[in-house]
Amino acid sequence: MNARDRIRLDELLAEQATQGLDGVAADELRALLEASVRGEDEGFELAAAAIELAMLGELEEMPASVRDGLRVRGREWARSMPDHDV
C-alpha cells in the first residue's frame, strides 16, 4: 500500500468512526482494507468513542426507580433464556 492510499484509508476510517460513510465511500474503504495488510482498524472507532465519553461531562446517577425497573426486566429476560439461572 502506498502512502497516498494509507492516508486515504486513515481518512475513511476516521470518517466512518465519526459520521458514517455513504455507499461509494464504504466501497472505497472496503477496497483499501482488502489491499492493506493490517485489515480493519478499530482504533479510530475506539478513539471516537473515548472522545465522546470525555465530552459528556458530569454524569447524573440513574434514578432508583429506573434502575430497579431495569433490574427486574433484566431478570425476567434472563429467565426467559434457555439454560440460565438467575
| Dist CA 86 CA 79 (whole Å) | 7
Contact 16, 44 (CB under 8 A): yes
Q: What is the pTM of this model?
A: 0.48
pLDDT tens track for 28-84:
999 998 888 665 567 778 888 889 888 988 888 999 999 999 999 999 999 998 875
